[in-house]
Amino acid sequence: MITEELVAGISLSLIIGILVKVSLVILTLLALVTVRQAGLMDRVVSVPIGNWFKGVAWGFFWACLVLTTGVILIV
Amino acid sequence: MPEVYTKKKPVDKIQKPEKSADNLVETVKKLVAEGFSEPPWRSLTACPPKTKFEAQHDQEEVLLLMRRHPVTNLWWLALIAMLVGVPLFWNEFPLIANVSGSVQLALAVFWYLGLAFFVIQNLLLWFYNVYIVTDERVIDVDFFGLLYKNVNTTQIRKIEDVNYSQVGMMSSMFNYGNVIIQTAAEQRSEDRREESSAFTFEAVSNPDRVVKVIGELMEQEEKEEYEGRTR
């Protein structure tokens, strides 16, 4: 049986919450790398819808940033 | 009268390569007429408009732009379709069922962002892992993950042999296969896939037509070399 309070003052929610927050920060950094990667890929092969992919990468990065900030502040 | 005097003179062999240049134009034109030039996310695009690549020469023209057939993306799309519903069953996992609602929500946010990252990565890798045939060269652009890029280039005149293979039910159904190009000096590049050659166009649509275009380019190049017009 898993209990909510593992030891005094440290709960399961706290540990998983911290893990999720750290993972979200890492994912945001990876999203930033993806933005750079999309730009480099478009430089190697420039195609008409290359800007759309860059837009998607930027959109994902901003979504990650906003949601990560929200989770860190609220949870 | 003996046949030797009446029979027409056979066509001069030198004329044959001259015909191949016209054949090449005709083959590419035919592909364009069949709608192979658009949209840009096709597996095989002939004379793609507004398409450039790194280190392209001024007069160099892109004849074919290829990437893996869209059907090859089915495995990760099916995986995403299965994983997308997992947060609905958080309470079935004992570890997650015991945490507070807000942490479960944060976990769901992370889960969906992770899936979105996976989708974007696979989409980018599929779209930008391209194979280009120009009137001068053959270029194989390979990206692996976030930080690895491998670009192989060879001149048309250095190509020794070109062939293709279609293995499996899916490739027969959707008409895609691997085009393998053997060059004169078959060097092994730092390629992370188990490819037969440094220039392996994996799972491209209509491989027979790709082989035909490259074959005609080789003939044209031979003719130019014969006439001393090599670039």
Query: What are the tens digits of pLDDT across the range B85-129?
Result: 999 998 888 888 888 889 999 999 999 999 999 999 999 999 999
Looking at residue B39, what is its pLDDT?
76
Give the mean model confidence (pLDDT) for residues B127-147. Answer: 87
Q: Return the residue of B nearest to A1 by Cα.
A: B94
Chain centre to alpha carbon of residue B140: 8
Q: Output phi, psi for B180, to 5 deg.
A: -110, 125
Q: How far apart are CA B216 and CA A65, in angstroms?
A: 52
Beta bridge partners of B138: B133, B154
A31 or B9: which leads in pLDDT: A31
Residues of A in contact with B51 (CB under 8 A): 45-48
pLDDT-above-90 percentage for chain B:
33
Instruction: Mark residue A7 as left, alpha or beta (left: phi above 0; alpha: psi -120 to 50; beta: remaining).
Output: beta
If interface means Cβ-Cβ distance under 8 Å, which residues of chain A face chain B?
Answer: 2-4, 12-13, 16-17, 20-21, 23-24, 27, 30-31, 33-34, 37-38, 40-49, 53, 56-57, 60, 63-64, 67, 71, 74-75
Q: How confident is the model at residue B3 (pLDDT cuts 50, 70, 90)?
A: low
ipTM of the shown complex? 0.91
B24-65 pLDDT, tens digit each: 767 777 777 776 667 777 888 888 888 888 888 888 888 888
- The residue among B113, B117, B152 with the most chain A CBs within 10 A of its CB, best to mutate, is B113
Average pLDDT, chain B: 82
Q: Residue A9 burial (CB < 10 Å; 0-12/13-18/19+)?
A: exposed
pLDDT-above-70 percentage for chain A:
92
Q: How confident is the model at residue A68 (pLDDT cuts 50, 70, 90)?
A: very high
Is the pLDDT at B21 greater than 90? The verdict is no
B87 or B1: which leads in pLDDT: B87
Distance from CA of B227 to the nearest CA of A (A): 33
Is the pLDDT at B75 greater than 90? The verdict is yes
Looking at residue B5, what is its pLDDT?
57
Looking at residue A3, what is its pLDDT?
52
Interchain proximity A24–B100, CB inside 8 Å: no
Is the pLDDT at B13 greater than 70? The verdict is no
Q: Is B189 on the interface with A (CB under 8 A)?
A: no
Residues of A in contact with B123 (CB under 8 A): 53, 56
Is the Cβ–Cβ distance between B43 and B36 less than 8 Å? Answer: no
B214 or B39: which leads in pLDDT: B214
Is the pLDDT at B73 greater than 50? The verdict is yes
Q: What is the length of chain A?
A: 75
